[in-house]
Amino acid sequence: GSFLLALKQGPVMSFFSFGQSAEIDIFLKDAETRKKAEHKTEDGKRDKYFLLYDGETVSGKVNVTLKNPGKRLEHQGIKMEFIGQIELYYDRGNHHEFVSLVKDLARPGELTQSQTFDFEFTHVEKPYESYTGQNVKLRYFLRATVSRRLNDISKEIDIVVHTLSTYPELNSSIKMEVGIEDCLHIEFEYNKSKYHLKDVIVGKIYFLLVRLKIRHMEIDIIKRETTGTGPNVYHENDTIAKYEIMDGAPVRGESIPIRLFLAGYEMTPTMRDINKKYSVRYYLNLVLIDEEERRYFKQQEITLWRKGDIVKKSMSHQAAIASQRFEGSSSAEKALAQAQAKEQEQ
């Protein structure tokens, strides 16, 4: 395996021209200080990649190093590309590019010595989050190419894009009654319908009627990846988390609290109909198992979103207050809210 890997990562070897060959290296600007993010590759390994956001400029340098000093390298031009593409695994080799930018770094000619070229793609749109799934992959990469008559020399580096969201305006709680007539009647409530990736799901389950012998009860978080369209739709369901609510039989009138911390699980934001190619959705699944091993469940979709780590300095005062309200209000605001509530009562 390692031999292949070395070939893949190294420069593209030139088997045709016995004369000159070159090695390409790509360096992002601010590489030392730039944030990196862990991202899963197709083989399930986790690697660290440079992290970029929508609208951010992508710039840096390309080094073209000649293998044999003193010999010229003829070329048909040198270019740099920034590409965002989606690949569906059942349609291998067919890449759907949704971002494709090209910058020419050098016109056709020859290199007499190793050379460094600057590149810059300003305020690049990166509309979707990087994603490696069961049946689909969305990736962004930079590719530098020295074009030649017989064989191009090229180098790619992957980058990871995260999409950040702001607090949802509407975030109602989820409340639901479920039951089997005359056997079981429960009510469950989750505090929100939209959660950020490091959030806590707080809820409670209330037993109104229990005539079934319930042996076990849990909440699962299910990730559902949907790819393809029409007759070729594939659903891939994955249980991300199992949270045991209780072991043993509940009694009527009992209320059971739930606290499920999301930060410990590997999840992405909810992705809806990305470039008309795929969706990733998350569901809370309440599961009850009775003594006869019958399973009863109720599924409810939740929306996951990625919260920015950094609060922008230019953030408006109102936005700051709004975020504080979510994070835990200041005492001054609490007092204000109480005063307002009193006014309304009167």
Residues 178 and 263 in one domain: yes
Beta-bridge mates of residue 184: 180, 210
Residues 150 and 245 in one domain: no
Give the domain extent around 215.
174-305
- Number of domains making up the chain: 2
Domain at 274, CATH number: 2.60.40.640
**Which residues have C-beta within 8 Å of that of residue 210, sequence separation ≥ 6?**
184, 249, 250, 251, 252
Residues 47 and 26 in one domain: yes
End position of a domain, from candidates 107, 136, 161: 161
**Residue 210 belongs to some domain of the structure:** yes
Q: Look at residue 308 in the predicted model and tell me its pLDDT.
A: 81
Residues 157 and 228 in one domain: no
**Residue 133 belongs to some domain of the structure:** yes
**Residue 61 belongs to some domain of the structure:** yes
The whole-model pTM stands at 0.79
The three-state secondary structure class of 168 is coil
pLDDT tens by residue, the chain, 346 residues:
434 444 444 444 544 445 678 999 999 999 999 999 999 888 888 999 999 999 999 999 999 999 988 889 999 999 999 999 999 988 888 899 999 999 999 999 999 999 999 999 999 999 999 999 999 999 999 999 999 988 899 999 999 999 998 777 888 888 888 777 778 788 889 999 999 999 999 999 998 887 778 888 899 999 999 998 778 889 999 999 999 987 667 778 888 899 999 999 999 999 999 999 999 999 999 888 888 888 888 899 999 999 986 544 334 444 444 444 444 444 444 444 555 555 555 5
Residues 180 and 106 in one domain: no
- Give the integer Cα–Cα distance in Å for 245 and 218: 5
Residues 184 and 290 in one domain: yes
| Sign of the C-alpha dihedral computed for residues 292, 180, 171 and 234 taken in this order | positive
**Residue 3 belongs to some domain of the structure:** no
Residues 186 and 96 in one domain: no
Q: Look at residue 170 in the predicted model and tell me its pLDDT.
A: 81
With contact defined as beta carbons under 8 Å apart, do 35 and 48 qualify? no
Residues 149 and 182 in one domain: no
Q: Look at residue 114 in the predicted model and tell me its pLDDT.
A: 94
**Residue 119 belongs to some domain of the structure:** yes
Residues 134 and 186 in one domain: no
Q: Look at residue 296 in the predicted model and tell me its pLDDT.
A: 85
Q: Look at residue 212 in the predicted model and tell me its pLDDT.
A: 79
**Residue 330 belongs to some domain of the structure:** no
**Residue 9 belongs to some domain of the structure:** no
End position of a domain, from candidates 135, 161, 187: 161
Give the Cβ contact number of residue 44 at 10 Å.
7
- Give the integer Cα–Cα distance in Å for 58 and 56: 6
Exposure on the CB side of residue 299, measured as CA atoms within 13 A: 11
- Give the integer Cα–Cα distance in Å for 260 and 200: 5
**Residue 191 belongs to some domain of the structure:** yes
Residues 187 and 300 in one domain: yes
